[in-house]
A = this chain, B = another copy of it.
Amino acid sequence: MTAAGKHQVSRAQTRGNRQGRAGIRDVAAAAGVSITTVSDALNGKGRLPDATRQHVREVADRLGYRPSAAARTLRTGKSGLIGLTVTTYGNEPFTFTEFAYFAEMARAATSAALDRGYALVILPATSRHDVWSNVALDGTVVIDPSDQDPVVSELVRQGLPVVSDGRPAGSLPVTAWVDNDHEAAVLGILDHLAAAGARRIGLLTGTTTDTYTRLSTTAYLRWCRRIGQDPVYEEYPAHDPCAGAVAADRLLARPDRPDAVYGLFDPNGTDLLAAARRYGLRVPEDLLLVCCSESTVYATTEPPITTLSLKPRRIGTAVVQLLIDAIESVETTGPIEQVIPTELIVRTSSQRRPPRRTVSPPRPSGQG
């Protein structure tokens, strides 16, 4: 035994604490130093000689010591946890409507958070206190918050920073937001279709009132008014995949059938393609097609379909950066409102003169 005896006596010497797991006191005792020294050594604080630091680290390692996250959180007021919430449609607690979009966005957000030492907690958009208040959050990311979102209000009232994916409707007091310029995106697509020869462009849109749907639809209507085209659109509840197929069918069954369609939601491309086949319409010869999607399947459909990407990875990353900057009160480099450009991936379905499509010979396999 070293000089351990001179330090404060605790349970640690009598008995291990929590179920045999070593606590900071056990480490201190075993290393023959005080708990402060242990804390400082392990956290790289204080001005300890490297020898001490090293020694403490070794002892901690040997004992398999892991600091208690709960205690640290209580003491410092920071948990390193960020909430992630998705607006729900209907009764399902989690309707990740735009599947690929959400998955990509969440993936990027998770990575970005991790890089800065934070982890993401998935939470429901309902304000069930018993869940939200049971987890210590440093801040929250809200995807597509509804107008007057109760969750957001509550969080803000608690003094927590909130950053939203999608510009907040009304006067929702978010700390910052990131979004695309949906109106510009729609106008761009309509122009693209018109340039490809479309005379009457239809829209497949949603019945929900979220900002994305609303902005996109009004942009479409405005474009129609400007161009002098009668709007041709069908609405359906975006969270219901079957309804999408039906709506696509309805759109192409109309007497004023459009010769080009833009679909706002991910599955619209395949649904419209299927509907077009049913009516014997060739794409792109009889019908031009574009849809908003992050899915890669549209690269290999017959024909490949032009898609609009909302760049979910960039959005997820940006949202998290803004939030953590707010949490840590770092000067955010950019503006508090960030607009991420969209990307139109042009494929055969929206080009009147499709690229040469011949049966290509088997390519020399690069790998085997």
- Contact across chains for B367 and A243 when beta carbons are under 8 A apart: yes
Some 5 contacts from A to B, beta carbons below 8 A apart, are A114-B131, A119-B134, A250-B368, A270-B300, A302-B302
The interface size bin for chain A is 35 or more
A332 partner residues in chain B, CB cutoff 8 A: none
| C-alpha spacing A278/B278, complex, angstroms | 23
Binds B, one of A91-99, A211-219, A322-330: A91-99
| C-alpha spacing A222/B114, complex, angstroms | 43
A92's nearest neighbour on chain B, judged by CB, is B111
- A303 CB to closest chain B CB (Å) equals 10
**With an 8 A cutoff between CB atoms, is A249 at the interface?**
yes
A92 partner residues in chain B, CB cutoff 8 A: 111
**With an 8 A cutoff between CB atoms, is A169 at the interface?**
no
- A13 CB to closest chain B CB (Å) equals 22
Binds B, one of A50-58, A64-72, A140-148, A189-197: A64-72
A74 partner residues in chain B, CB cutoff 8 A: 68, 70-71, 73-74
- Contact across chains for B245 and A273 when beta carbons are under 8 A apart: no
A270's nearest neighbour on chain B, judged by CB, is B300
A278 partner residues in chain B, CB cutoff 8 A: 359-360
- Contact across chains for A363 and B249 when beta carbons are under 8 A apart: yes
- A330 CB to closest chain B CB (Å) equals 19
| C-alpha spacing A19/B160, complex, angstroms | 11
> How many copies of this chain does one complex carry?
2
| C-alpha spacing A333/B149, complex, angstroms | 39
Given contacts A66-B133, A119-B135, 8 further A-B contacts (CB under 8 A): A21-B159, A68-B74, A93-B114, A110-B122, A119-B134, A241-B296, A278-B360, A297-B297
- Contact across chains for B69 and A135 when beta carbons are under 8 A apart: yes
Binds B, one of A76-84, A179-187, A344-352: A76-84
- Contact across chains for B300 and A297 when beta carbons are under 8 A apart: no
Q: Which residues 214-272 of A have a CB within 8 angstroms of B?
A: 234-236, 241, 243, 245-246, 249-250, 253, 267, 270-271
Chain A 125-137 interface mask (CB, 8 Å, partner B; 1/0) = 0000111011110
| C-alpha spacing A296/B268, complex, angstroms | 12
- Contact across chains for B121 and A121 when beta carbons are under 8 A apart: yes
Partner of A67, one of B123, B133, B360: B133
